[in-house]
Chains A and B, each alone.
Chain A
Amino acid sequence: MTRRSLRRTAAALVAVIVAGCGLVSCGGTENESAGGEVFRLGADQPIDSLNPFVSVVTMSFAVFEQIYPTLVQLDPHEQYVPDFAGSWSTSPDGRMWTFHTHPGAKWSDGMALTAADAAWTLTTIAKFQDGPTAGLANYVTALDSATTPDPDTLVLQYSRPVANVLNQLKSVPILPEHVWREYAQGDGGALTTFPNTAPIVSGGPFTLVRHQPKQIALFKRNPAYYGPPPHIAGFGIQFFSSADAMITALKSHQLDAAQSVPATSVANLKSAGFEVVSSPGLRFDSITVNANPKQRAEHRELTNPLVRQAFDHAIDRVGVVKTSLLGHGHPGSSIIPPGTAGWYDRSIAPTPFDLDAANRLLDEAGYRKGPDGVRIANGHPMDYPIILPEDTYSGAGLRSFQIVRAGFARIGVRLTPRLLDNAAANDANMADDSQDFAMTMWGWSGAASDPDDTLNYLTCRSWGILNDTGYCGEDWDRLYDRQSVAMDPADRHRIVDEMQRLAAQDRVLLVLDYPDSIEAHSRSWADLPQVGGDSFSSESKIPLLSVRKAG
């Protein structure tokens, strides 16, 4: 029996006794050890792995952002600013990028941190991108080589211009070559089995000193960090499986801040004196209406533009925002959310809730109402199963669905919810080459600074993996390829705007809303900006470098 389990067993024996005096003793346990220097954060998503080649969740990449250098990062205004690279330049043809890294930097174990570590990381990802490093492969798109003419200079050579190089590189944690090199031998399989447990050799502002899965990740200031030292001695993230418990912990000052605050808790926290910050999120909720022209005959009318337009008019977006999001969000229009730095096309207005127009469109399509009020299309009632994945059918999502269903009922279309967990929903959407499903209500999140992820989602090459809409269009793919090599920002903006208009016109996704990203923190802490809607960001070190005790 380990010392820890012995402790726990001993704790079990006296727990009941202690419980009796719990009301007294618990008041005294309130994190006095933090000494006002440890920033205590609550989150609802645990770390899946500390190995960047294995991890897929945003929370883990937010951890990597704090413990590993990245070449660039985002600032609170969603601009790319220096991190390990102090400056950079690109060749006129956009195929060569040169980064000048911080001279004299060190890892937390005292070894030199140079541009060679960055080159090794990128080269290794590229080398094994069809296997062990496939999860990070999209960050080295078209990368031919990464070389270091001197220890403080990194030169990246691409086979073609890549418009979003900085967006890609801000997501790549630079790993210490001297630690990881031995795992990149042979087929690189060992890269995915190295657990990378604490204490981790770090180059970022913090080092991870303890990680108890699903409970806590605790970080200390890294004295070897090449940048300005943080104002805090460290920070910790406690993971909660219930938002109620997290909010209660915040209110009782067992936490200093909480991420992903439910809209239902905002008023409560404000009245309790907490600073609640709502900012445009990176997510949109939407209804997918199967766009596959080869879908099953029972619902093939869903490809009819008049039907899709009618459905769009039957959605009460204002009602959804008011009732489901309690006002903490905006009605949806484009597939690029307003939180994606400057890329949201404001000229695309949310489709108005207009049941008369919707009914007229369906009449025009020739789908008359049957005796039970449900319209008949191609000989069958317009009665569609709609997949609600677990992300959607809890809380706000279910309320949104009820509003949508009520609207559809008034135009003679019946929606029958099909509640599935996420894995089963994926399977149902992709089944039979996306011919089976009729409709799905789900959400999508993109990056804070770049629209590429969201645009890629709808390409034909993503069909069956990411693209679960049944949509595949030559125009779309052509525009996607054009924007990915457009080095002139204005050019790229024009193409991306055109794509947003195309998506809105084809009604690939009926965008319901953009939920705000909501965080709350105690007023005893200050200078905690958000980047991409998060203060604990996977794209920036700035919030935790600047947070400090108030006063």
Chain B
Amino acid sequence: MRNFDYVLRRGIFSLVTIFLAVTGNFFLFRLLPGDAVSNLAKVPHAGPELQHALMVRFGLDRSTWDQYLLYLKNLLHGDLGVSFTYQEPVSHLLLTDLENTVLLAGAGTLGAIVLGVLSGVVAAWRRSSPLDHLNTGLATLVYSFPAQWLGLVLLIIFAGVLPAGGMSDLFVFDSPPFWPHLADVGSHMVLPTATLILTAYGGYTLVVRSSMLETLGEDYVLTARAKGLSSRRIVWRHAVRNAMLPIVTMVALDLGYVVGGAVLVEVIFSWPGLGMATYTALGQRDYPMVQGGFLILTVSVILLNFLADLVYFRLDRRVSA
């Protein structure tokens, strides 16, 4: 019963947060100066007729309150509206973008975790050695690079070797066979994914190294050494498992940003994801697209945090207190 109460409480809290975020998103963008109509009506010979026609088409001739109620009503029916710019359903446009972003950011986050854990463990294992200094120094250095700068540098360095933009070779009339397509998508992912990995893995390295050093000083590690276990076995079978708890926290927090964290990288590599779509829509005051984009970002952060709460609850029942 106590478990159910906790889950219910967290669930309600998440729903209220989503509602507040939805409301905030709706009004926030309308507070900004400028609108889609003034942008779209700036074409040769545009007159008041075009301006009026666009206002009616976008529903902007209604009061803000009416627009808000209509937005909420449509949202409850799963309807995110129609993009002002593309005149297509936002859910359709953003779903494809979301898939692309999850693909890129997911691979980037996963790669950063794997690389960060490996380099953190190695750094702690060989602490104070040249390898540790080199490893930790490099991780800290790339961690401090802005993703967009590093992306541009990689773009220049690997020009002609790796694809520079997009997510596959698009100039083909017929769908390519599965494996060549897979290799093609993979090759287009290399640079943006590498950018994400390089700018994120340093954080994991430093946390894992610190946690590992603490764990390696525990009595049970000394006991294991005394029993004659090999270093490799002590590190990978005993110490790493216990040092992973802070990483669970970090991953849980990072997962919430998987969807929204790759905006600049998507723009640099022309990756057609959610970040790029939201960035473009914001400049065009395409309210349905912006609201839809932010809704997905908000919901993903809240849901993943909710998930993290549940995982914590499962790991440590004291969190419900």
Contact = CB atoms under 8 A, between A and B. Distances in A.
A244 B152 contact: yes
Contacts of A406: none
A494 interface: no
Given A51-B87, A430-B38, A29 B187 contact: yes
Contact of A48 (B86, B174, B267): B86
Contacts of A33: 169, 171-174, 176
A496 interface: no
A252 B166 CA distance: 14
Interface stretch (A13-21, A143-151, A316-324, A369-377): A13-21
A242 B270 contact: yes
Interface in B269-291: 269-270, 272, 276-277, 280, 282-285
A421 interface: yes
A462 B44 CA distance: 10
Contact of B171 (A23, A26, A34, A132): A34
Given A426-B42, A453-B44, A421 B169 contact: no
A22 B164 contact: no
Interface string A16-50: 11110111011101110110001010000000110
Contacts of B185: 8, 11, 15, 18
Contacts of B272: 212-215
Interface stretch (A233-241, A294-302, A345-353, A542-550): A233-241
A164 B96 CA distance: 43
For chain B, the bracket of interface size reads: 35 or more
B91 interface: no
A237 to B, nearest CB: 9
Contacts of A10: 178, 182
A428 B54 CA distance: 20
Contacts of A22: 162, 186-187, 190
Contact of B155 (A14, A129, A248, A420): A248
A309 interface: no
Interface in A207-246: 209-210, 212-216, 218, 220, 234, 236, 238-242, 244-246
Interface stretch (B28-36, B60-68, B232-240, B252-260): B28-36
B162 A9 contact: no
Interface stretch (A133-141, A359-367, A470-478): A133-141
B106 interface: yes
B103 A11 contact: yes
Nearest to A131: B53
Contact of A16 (B42, B107, B280): B107
Nearest to B266: A241
Contacts of A141: 45
A203 B53 CA distance: 29
A248 B159 CA distance: 6
A54 interface: yes
Contacts of A462: 45-47
Contacts of A420: 33-34
A124 interface: no
Nearest to B97: A214
Nearest to A17: B186
A14 B185 CA distance: 10
B165 A242 contact: yes
Name, among A40, A215, A220, A461, the residue most crowded by chain B CB atoms within 10 Å (CB to CB).
Answer: A215
A239 B50 contact: no
A238 B51 contact: no
Contacts of B42: 426, 465-466
A132 B53 contact: yes
Given A130-B49, A138-B44, A236 B33 contact: no
Nearest to B194: A19
A11 B283 contact: no
A240 B87 contact: no
A263 B107 CA distance: 35
B47 A240 contact: no
Given A10-B182, A15-B186, A423-B284, A26 B161 contact: yes
Contact of A18 (B33, B152, B183): B183
B162 A245 contact: no
A420 to B, nearest CB: 7
Interface string B142-186: 000000000010011001111111110111111010101111111
A193 interface: yes
A428 B49 CA distance: 22
B41 interface: yes
A119 interface: no
Contact of B34 (A51, A240, A424): A424
A12 B258 CA distance: 14
Nearest to A447: B44
B87 A49 contact: yes
A465 B46 contact: yes
Contacts of B184: 29
Interface string A481-511: 0000000000000000000000000000000
A65 to B, nearest CB: 16
B283 A422 contact: yes
Interface in A412-451: 420-428, 430, 446-447
A425 B34 contact: yes
B159 A252 contact: yes
Contacts of B167: 215
Given A8-B103, A9-B103, A425-B34, A25 B164 contact: no
A215 B40 CA distance: 22
B33 A453 contact: no
B172 A195 contact: no
Contacts of B140: none
A49 B86 contact: yes
B305 to A, nearest CB: 23
B165 A246 contact: yes
B283 A390 contact: yes
Given A23-B161, A209-B173, 19 more contacts: A7-B178, A18-B189, A19-B187, A26-B163, A56-B43, A138-B45, A193-B87, A210-B173, A212-B170, A216-B171, A240-B270, A245-B164, A252-B163, A424-B32, A426-B38, A426-B42, A461-B47, A462-B46, A466-B42
13 contacts: A14-B182, A15-B189, A16-B107, A22-B186, A38-B173, A49-B85, A238-B166, A240-B270, A245-B269, A252-B161, A422-B283, A430-B38, A466-B41
Closest 4 CB pairs of A and B: A18-B186, A423-B34, A138-B45, A26-B187
